[in-house]
Structure 1
Amino acid sequence: MSQTYKATGINLKAIPLGETDRLLTILTPDVGLVRAVAPGSRKHQSRLGGRSDLFVINECLVVKGKRLDKLIQAETLRTFSGLSQHLGRLTASQYLAEVVLLMALSDCPQGDLFHVFVEHLERLETASPGTVLAALCHGLYHLLALAGVAPEVHRCTLSRAEIVPNLLDPAWRVEFSCEAGGLVQVNGATQLSEGQGHYSSAPKRPILLTATDVALLQQLTKPEILSTLPMGLDNKDPQTGKTQQLWARVERLLREYTENYFERPIRSAALVDVCLATL
């Protein structure tokens, strides 16, 4: 006999399958990732049609299969209609969903991951066009923190000394290293990296961050984020530029860090570059 089970889940991915079906990847808090066929969901007036769209939370009734499960019933609990009303919001949501897919496990409870992802979808849904990048960076950092791999942005990863960005000094710099796992103080970093550990085994071009970069990174660790510039900064300083450009720098930094850790490219990031470039 076929085994059926119920699960509440959010659609992370939907791809066409055959002539009328969709293959859904669903994140559930109780059983983790579920890959299920939504039969006939691409047919006109199919009851599963809208329920198989991206970022829809359903109460699902699923039949267990040998290779793929089958979605036989779905009752929608929530949609995020605001995401589709702005291309930047939708693209940023797909970006976070792609990272969630790199993190999520099957046949294993994923309650924390489910709730953190939904929380940041809610924030993206109400983000103004000018704050989408800040909301994306915030969500990405919190996903990495949940996985226990977020970059260290408050202390030097080598000396453990606290790093406080000097926003009044335009020449202030600190190094960021994906291999070391976060910030590295420039002062003395060369001597440390020449003789110690994995940090010196694969030397790469150092990434130097300004005080503004670090101030924004440190904001990401907070439960709420200010999408504007930190206090002490203003756009009169030619080195700070526009807020949007600053958050774009932070996103690219976190993107490189995430791709380096998971050893996989974030394909949606290319769309972010395109659709948010003109904001």
Structure 2
Amino acid sequence: MPNYSLTAINVGSFALGEADRILTLFSAERGLVRAVAKGARKPGTKIAGRADVLNVNKLMLARGRSLDIIVQAEQIESFPKLRQDLFRLAYGLYYAELTAQFGEGLEEEAEIFFGYLCQALRLQAEAKGEPAILCLDFELKLLELLGYKPELDFCVGCRRVLSNPSIAVFDHELGGILCQSCLVEDRRMQRHQVAEASADYRPEAGLSSSLKTHITPLVWQALVSASHDPERHNAQVSASISRANTAGCRLIQTYIEHKAGRRMKALDLIKV
């Protein structure tokens, strides 16, 4: 079959033999793709520089038996300013890890997400706002495209409109915020389940628990603002708002890890 071209960003790689690499790419044309970069582990080769994570390349690929092979790579963008700031680079690596994890669910929105990912990396590279605020915007956009965007305006239990006095916890299983009344009812039901399980002596009668995180009004407001006003990162914010944005970002990261079913390794670089 004939060769084909892709415009793609490298979001991961691992060694293949002594000289090659398998690259995980997210392309504007096909979404998530894996391909072999021959000679990418050899120092000084042209493909080695093109194979770095977060490089955007115009690629020519040839069909292979199990994986296609990169036969030509022309670098388009490499975000040099991002690589000069280790803290912001950690966020870029987190974006790449998220893309590798969830990219298969973005095939229909591949062109939209590819453009958004590149723009998100540019914003981090150019320091166009606090890193956590920019990250929160990226996370919420990704969750929206995946169909996992959290419910922040209405209680996920009773569907009442949320307000500062009514918010209680973020329920990671239900994907949104529970109000105080629903949290009280949820705890009452859990106590009832515990009592029934103890009475019946049945191991299978245990709780169907879900992860919940306490959320303050300020953090909730930060999440709502991020959800409805993604351009706010250009504005100056107070120290308290900055802390709320960081807390909101970490809450959403926990939600994302819950959906992924695993730990995001790049977060270890951010949370030091």
Structure 2 length-normalised TM: 0.83
Query: Counterparts of 2:106 and 2:54 in 1: how far apart (Å)?
Result: 21
Question: Contact 1:127–1:135 (CA<8 Å) still a contact in 2?
Answer: no
- Structure 1 regions of 5+ residues with no counterpart? 167-171, 275-279
Q: How many percent of aligned residue pairs carry the same amino acid?
A: 27
CA-CA distance at 1:15 after TM superposition: 2.6
Question: Contact 2:167–2:178 (CA<8 Å) still a contact in 1?
Answer: no
| Partner of residue 121, structure 2 | 121
CA-CA distance at 1:150 after TM superposition: 1.4
The 1:61–1:250 alpha-carbon spacing in structure 2 relative to 1, beyond 3 Å, is same
Give, as a single letter, the amino acid of the residue that structure 1 aligns with 2:209. P
| Partner of residue 193, structure 2 | none
| Partner of residue 29, structure 1 | 28
The 1:44–1:101 alpha-carbon spacing in structure 2 relative to 1, beyond 3 Å, is closer
* SS of residue in 2 equivalent to 1:82: helix
Query: Counterparts of 1:225 and 1:60 in 2: how far apart (Å)?
Result: 35
Question: Contact 1:34–1:106 (CA<8 Å) still a contact in 2?
Answer: no
Query: Counterparts of 1:5 and 1:205 in 2: how far apart (Å)?
Result: 45
The 1:25–1:3 alpha-carbon spacing in structure 2 relative to 1, beyond 3 Å, is same
Query: Counterparts of 1:181 and 1:122 in 2: how far apart (Å)?
Result: 29
Query: Counterparts of 2:107 and 2:161 in 1: how far apart (Å)?
Result: 37
Equivalent residue in structure 2 for 1:180, among 154, 168, 174: 174
Query: Counterparts of 1:89 and 1:112 in 2: how far apart (Å)?
Result: 23
Q: Superposition pairs for residues 128-147 of structure 1, below 5 Å? A: 131-147=130-146
Could you say what the CA RMSD is over the residues aligned between the two structures, in angstroms? 2.7
Question: Contact 1:134–1:227 (CA<8 Å) still a contact in 2?
Answer: no
Question: Contact 2:34–2:68 (CA<8 Å) still a contact in 1?
Answer: yes
| Partner of residue 68, structure 1 | 67
1:213 aligns with 2:219: yes
Query: Counterparts of 1:201 and 1:229 in 2: how far apart (Å)?
Result: 45
The 1:255–1:161 alpha-carbon spacing in structure 2 relative to 1, beyond 3 Å, is same
| Partner of residue 254, structure 1 | 252
Q: Superposition pairs for residues 53-64 of structure 1, below 5 Å? A: 53-64=52-63
Give, as a single letter, the amino acid of the residue that structure 1 aligns with 2:79. F
Query: Counterparts of 1:26 and 1:53 in 2: how far apart (Å)?
Result: 11
Residues matched between the structures, number: 255
Give, as a single letter, the amino acid of the residue that structure 2 aligns with 1:174. A
Give, as a single letter, the amino acid of the residue that structure 2 aligns with 1:32. G
Question: Contact 2:168–2:183 (CA<8 Å) still a contact in 1?
Answer: no
Give, as a single letter, the amino acid of the residue that structure 2 aligns with 1:219. S
Query: Counterparts of 2:15 and 2:211 in 1: how far apart (Å)?
Result: 42
Question: Contact 2:106–2:145 (CA<8 Å) still a contact in 1?
Answer: no
| Partner of residue 224, structure 1 | 231
Structure 1 length-normalised TM: 0.81
The 1:134–1:71 alpha-carbon spacing in structure 2 relative to 1, beyond 3 Å, is same
Question: Contact 1:12–1:27 (CA<8 Å) still a contact in 2?
Answer: yes
Query: Counterparts of 1:107 and 1:153 in 2: how far apart (Å)?
Result: 23
CA-CA distance at 1:49 after TM superposition: 2.2
Q: Deviations over 1:72-124 (max 9, x none)?
A: 10111222111111111111111111111122129945222212212211211
Query: Counterparts of 1:123 and 1:20 in 2: how far apart (Å)?
Result: 34
Question: Contact 1:89–1:124 (CA<8 Å) still a contact in 2?
Answer: yes
